Structure 1
């Protein structure tokens, strides 16, 4: 799944807001302590209580141990389930093998009889989640779109952690394992594209690619939802909405377009831009200050004239991304004619930001877990407040929509945008911004016209 930004909670994913979860964010994106409320009967969504999250951060309560009086035959499966929860909730770097053993009710030595190390366990967790989530893509017959989205919504909901695991944690795997899992994901995406083509033979390859990734983005967004989904119905409706969309025309991807040659004159800004790109591409833990300095021709102690530490670089990048969201929001609200007009412009501005600043979206979605606690908590609150602004506008446009459904729809839009921004074959296509704008408006039940200038 391309990436996302988590919104308002540690996955992210995906956004975390802007998610970007990624994200992506895209990627972003990213969810939100939005206004509370109770879902109406049969809606399939129930709000999670304040502070709860589908993938809470490191400060969350530990998982209840699965104490066993005797060794169960499915101990390996229990270990994978416990690790899946802890990796998605606390992050791979913050979950120790002893924590996983305690969650299963066994000693560390028993855990190591099943898995030689934490990285081996991570591979098992991501592999199982990927296969289980994507299993719903295969039972439907050719062109059976209603069956496809129903089955895929069910399997995606059963492994809703996959978005966070793939977009944030899988980067900790060895390159060859990550590449093999990526091939499996792309094979599943091609299966989905084939189903879309069978159901809609008029689609050209560019639109099929966009809508298949967008449908996967709906599944990825589940990892960032701060609501309890009691049935797959809403998820299936959103997948169906994406799969049946008729976006405007798309050009050929510009994968070989040369990068601009202009760079920051300020050494501080050059360092920040380089660090943001490196953190997004390789992960915060794999990048050193020396790597960042080398990228802009600064060596040794000179880096410390601008940033006190690698954490200082990360915190500055994340803070700048969050503040940019608020500036965009203020510029949207000031000239808006009404709530619907403001929401359409907000969708458009977020799309433009994610496409232009995909590395920043990714960092917010995937690396905010590495912030020090005070910065992490402040960032989450900023993100929650930002998402609350989306929800306020959406409620004004659709007052009958439950707060829970509104949160699901907003997070889905952010995740789909972030994911596309992180997918070069899509993000570099001329017209992708207008296609995403139409998708975003449709997912929010908005009229897409007129397109903001």
Structure 2
């Protein structure tokens, strides 16, 4: 204690031992809320209650926070799936589902790091995290194959991926639900996925949409198509208007006549995706013969979109934090409206289930479809879209059409 503190009765404020963890957690939450590039050091410091310069005592830059936060999240997933010697396979699987569901609830505000911000990691960090993800998938797949010896190794890994997508879905929304109930729902739905029948598709080249004839597209459509491709491949922030102009064979001056800014171009892509999702949903509901059929058609139509227009749906899911404010709010309403159609139909199909439960399961099915569409579409061969649709049906406990 200093002389001044002795005179005025104050005591020195001790720096918390976990300050670094607090900063990393605040950074992770903000990255998930507004995107890695949309967050500044001062905002992170403000959430922790310290000054901007104080952050640099713990991290040299913002990237170091992202790396630390993703590493810490990965370590938590590894801990949740760590083996207990001598456990029977079924008991082992159940323990992992319980621990993963608990972790999904506890880390709900930062789970999106895996889904949205992993692309910003440098190669070494990304490779290490992907290796950890493979370890976790194998930890689930191995006891699953012991419990279900009929499963091929790649099918067991597919079901493990599906479970992880389900658990991660809780981070894609903020729907209110009691933590204990969320854990119970995720565990039960996880078991439905692990018990699912996987029909092995024929191993041929994966179906890809036929390339459009550039001569049939207007200049505006060509610009949007190339922007979409580049946003999907590299992320919004890594792409410049000059890149889009070069890819679309357009002069930069002409490009700005169509789209005054990159954010407005992104908004145009979003409105296109929202319109297609709404149209597919309306068609599915308008042709259904029953509640069960309506839900099955919703699943099938979304699977068709994800596998047929993967660039569009991936950008639609991942880049909303980069939209202009007015468009972001409007498009989020459109996304919520789409989810609520699923919730409404699922509630009609399963009237004993609460709306909150239906909402969690609907988000789980949507996230599973997008995740698996991105990760397995082109390494599993033709027919994988039907396998993924079947898993979504099983998750929702609705027979496939």
Normalising by structure 1, we get a TM-score of 0.79
State yes or no: 1:201 paired with 2:152: no
Equivalent positions of 1:58-73 (< 5 A) are: 69-73=13-17
SS of match in other structure, 1:391: helix
Equivalent residue for 1:133? 77
**Distance change in 2, residues 1:331/1:142 (3 Å):** same
SS of match in other structure, 1:298: coil
Query: What displacement does 1:142 show?
Result: 5.9
SS of match in other structure, 1:435: helix
State yes or no: 1:160 paired with 2:72: no
Equivalent residue for 1:103? 47
Query: What displacement does 1:247 show?
Result: 2.3
Q: Which segment drifts farther, 223-232 or 208-217? A: 223-232
State yes or no: 1:187 paired with 2:135: yes
Equivalent residue for 1:402? 354
SS of match in other structure, 1:422: helix
SS of match in other structure, 1:228: coil
Equivalent residue for 1:222? 170
Normalising by structure 2, we get a TM-score of 0.89
**Distance change in 2, residues 1:251/1:212 (3 Å):** farther
Equivalent residue for 1:88? 32
State yes or no: 1:290 paired with 2:242: yes
Query: What displacement does 1:411 show?
Result: 0.3
Query: What displacement does 1:270 show?
Result: 1.9
Count of residues in Structure 1 that have an aligned counterpart in Structure 2: 381
Query: What displacement does 1:377 show?
Result: 0.3
Equivalent pair of 1:145/1:199 in contact (CA under 8 Å): no
Mapped partners of 2:349, 2:208: distance in 1: 42
Equivalent pair of 2:208/2:308 in contact (CA under 8 Å): no
Listed one character per residue, the Cα deviations across residues 356-401 of structure 1 (whole Å, up to 9, x for unaligned) are 1111111111111111000000001111111111111111111110
Query: What displacement does 1:420 show?
Result: 0.8
State yes or no: 1:321 paired with 2:273: yes
Q: Which has more helix, going by share of residues? A: 2
State yes or no: 1:235 paired with 2:186: yes
State yes or no: 1:264 paired with 2:214: yes
Equivalent pair of 1:339/1:396 in contact (CA under 8 Å): yes
SS of match in other structure, 2:177: strand
State yes or no: 1:177 paired with 2:125: yes
Listed one character per residue, the Cα deviations across residues 197-229 of structure 1 (whole Å, up to 9, x for unaligned) are 222221013321321110110121010242234
State yes or no: 1:123 paired with 2:67: yes
Structure number with greater Rg is 2
Listed one character per residue, the Cα deviations across residues 303-344 of structure 1 (whole Å, up to 9, x for unaligned) are 234322212221111111111011111111222212221111
Equivalent residue for 2:333? 381
Query: What displacement does 1:130 show?
Result: 1.9
Mapped partners of 1:433, 1:90: distance in 2: 31
1:245 is aligned, of 191, 196, 199, to 196
Give unpaired runs (5+ residues) of structure 1: 1-67
Listed one character per residue, the Cα deviations across residues 62-84 of structure 1 (whole Å, up to 9, x for unaligned) are xxxxxx94211111112122222
**Distance change in 2, residues 1:269/1:150 (3 Å):** same
Mapped partners of 2:234, 2:204: distance in 1: 24
Query: What displacement does 1:290 show?
Result: 1.4
Mapped partners of 1:206, 1:426: distance in 2: 14
Listed one character per residue, the Cα deviations across residues 270-325 of structure 1 (whole Å, up to 9, x for unaligned) are 22111112111211111011111222333332323432221222111111111101
Equivalent residue for 2:316? 364
State yes or no: 1:447 paired with 2:399: yes
Mapped partners of 1:198, 1:385: distance in 2: 42
Give unpaired runs (5+ residues) of structure 2: 1-11
**Distance change in 2, residues 1:200/1:253 (3 Å):** farther
Mapped partners of 1:229, 1:432: distance in 2: 35
Query: What displacement does 1:261 show?
Result: 4.8
